[in-house]
Amino acid sequence: MSEQQSMPQIIETQPDRTDLPLAVMPTVFEAMIEPFKANLPLLHDIARVRMYTDRTTDKETLLARSADADAVMVIGFHIPDAALDRFCGFDGGDGHVRCFAFGGTGVASYINMAKTRERGVRVCNIVHYGDHAVAEHTFALILELARETGRLDAEVKADDWTGAEGYALHGKTLGLIGFGGIGQTVARIANGFGMHVAVWNSHVDPAAATELGVELIDDMGDLMERADIVSLHLPLLESTAGIITARQLDRMRPGTLFVNTARAEIIEPGALTARLLRGDVQAALDVFDHEPLPMDDLLRTVPGIVLTPHVAWRNDEAYVSLTRQVVQSVASFFTGGDFNVAN
């Protein structure tokens, strides 16, 4: 059965209150359904809610389900410019959405922020909901590169006892580009491994740097050259898009481990693929320029690369904070507040 043919369960609140605006969640991850239901009372007497409980990224399905929405809760799908116009009733579109409540950070890679600003459509994102989730996944990727547990598991199950030589984390230098909530959590974990942590010194909280005993390095290229492991934790903003260049990536030494659980768009287009295809740097990536990653993408050909499908943010703890903030954003919009406004 295709996405368009499926008949998802629909959860509605206050359906008879047609005097209230309508907030629609056109798709959701199954694990988020119960956390969202627990927070829907926050919209009592503020807005009706219609939540579709299946998972789809089909643009026409999303648009059809949101046709009469005043606000849309955006959970894990992109809104291209043409779809944005239709959602909001511009350029011949029939929608009337006035607010998008995005269930994540890095909203700029999902919605055209300049366009929403121009047209007076509010966009909200959420903050610090998944600091631990992303930090833990970062170390899962680092450990996979260092100890290859996935490959070794498959070999043992195939009766191959060859094994592999591990790469020690203790005493190595972890270079962090980005030192907000996630970067600081990664640093705390790294301290537990006995690693030396160096941080690119841009907008770094001095108190946090002192508390965590990190070394601040002013030049990003210098950091990449000195680090044994480079991990990215910058948000995607207009000021950070493409901030990591081919010249900086070129300074990584052979044998460096490179991890990205932030956003692919903070790297100059094509620069990372070109660097990794040289074959002397190992990488683990959770984010990509195009998602899902196309089957013919050259990243798939990089030897030893570890790829995960943009899941660093997804765990049970993160869902509790995420769902509450999304609902709070919608409630704030309809009551004249400014909670978590991103644009």
CB 100 within 8 A of CB 123: yes
Please say if the pLDDT value at position 246 is more than 90. Answer: yes
**156-208 pLDDT, tens per residue?**
999 999 999 999 999 999 999 999 999 999 999 999 999 999 999 998 999 99
**111-123 pLDDT, tens per residue?**
999 999 999 999 9
Higher-confidence residue of 105 and 323: namely 323
N-to-C CA span, the chain: 38
Identify the pLDDT of residue 6: 56
C-alpha 243/C-alpha 247 separation (Å) is 11
Q: Same domain for 102 and 89?
A: yes
Q: Same domain for 230 and 325?
A: no
Q: Same domain for 147 and 284?
A: yes
Q: Same domain for 114 and 176?
A: no
Q: What is the mean pLDDT of the chain?
A: 95
Identify the pLDDT of residue 109: 86
Reported as type and span, the H/E element at residue 222 is helix 220-226
Identify the pLDDT of residue 3: 44
Residue 342 falls within a domain, yes or no?
no
Phi, psi of 97 (to 5 degrees): -70, 130
Question: Which range marks the domain in which residue 50 is found?
Answer: 10-129+316-334
C-alpha 276/C-alpha 242 separation (Å) is 17
**Total of domains in the chain:** 2
Q: Mean per-residue pLDDT for 71-85?
A: 95
Can you count the helices (H) and strands (E) in the chain?
Answer: 12, 13
Q: Same domain for 179 and 221?
A: yes
SS3 content of the chain, % helix, strand, coil (to 5): 35, 15, 50
Catalytically active residues are 263, 291, 310
Identify the pLDDT of residue 217: 97
Angle CA 191–193–199, to nearest 5 = 40
Going along the chain, which residue ranges are E strands? 10-13, 22-25, 48-52, 71-74, 99-102, 122-124, 173-177, 196-200, 215-217, 229-232, 257-260, 282-285, 306-307
C-alpha 4/C-alpha 206 separation (Å) is 52
Please say if the pLDDT value at position 2 is more than 60. Answer: no
Please say if the pLDDT value at position 1 is more than 50. Answer: no
Q: Same domain for 166 and 291?
A: yes
Please say if the pLDDT value at position 56 is more than 80. Answer: yes
**SS3 assignment, position 244:** strand
Structure tokens at 286: 């959770």
Smallest Cα–Cα separation from 279: which of 302, 245, 256?
302
**227-243 pLDDT, tens per residue?**
999 999 999 888 999 99
CB 215 within 8 A of CB 190: no
Q: Is 117 left (phi over 0), alpha (psi -120 to 50) or beta?
A: alpha
C-alpha 262/C-alpha 246 separation (Å) is 18
124: domain CATH number is 3.40.50.720
Q: Same domain for 139 and 106?
A: no
